[in-house]
Structure 1
Amino acid sequence: PFGGRRRLGFLVSCSGKKYGPDKKPVFKGIENTMKSVFTVLGMEMIESLLFAGVDLKGGITQFPSALERANRAGNIIAELLL
């Protein structure tokens, strides 16, 4: 880690679609890309909040665990900053 600090990365993304044109899960490309970016930056990816099928305002409510997972990720960030 740069400067002796642990550097953590989070990926947060929503998509209106569940699958890309190649029939693979829509987030596969961004997950692989961000893992590479985090590696180059000396970061550890510790959480991915990925929600497919969220196209309309309020659509995230289809995912009961979304708020809990986002809160948990936010708490991790807050603890590291204090």
Structure 2
Amino acid sequence: MAQTTAQRQAAWRARRATAGKDGNGERRLDMWVSTEADLALARLARRSAVTKRLILEQLIARADGAIVRRLDPDSEQWDLYFKAPR
């Protein structure tokens, strides 16, 4: 029996939890940004010939990586950043 549109959509959303190259899943972001930020994001994506999603992922990963590299894994700052209890 064929699935309804709602059933197909529900199945697709359920698969998102384990999607991606590493099976770690994907998360949905739903937000408003300023027109300035959206236009800048579009320019960055167009210049690199990639999607806006990829630009956002790269910017976020680079910013996070820069912070993590400066933190000592045995420090309170590390725990605060990752919200890990000591």
TM-score (norm 2): 0.28
Q: Kindly indicate which of the two structures has a greater share of residues assigned to strand.
A: 1
Q: Which has the higher contact order (CA 8 A, sep 6+)?
A: 1
Higher helix content, 1 or 2: 2
Which of these two proteins has the greater Rg computed from alpha carbons? 2
Question: TM-score of the superposition, structure 1-length normalised?
Answer: 0.29
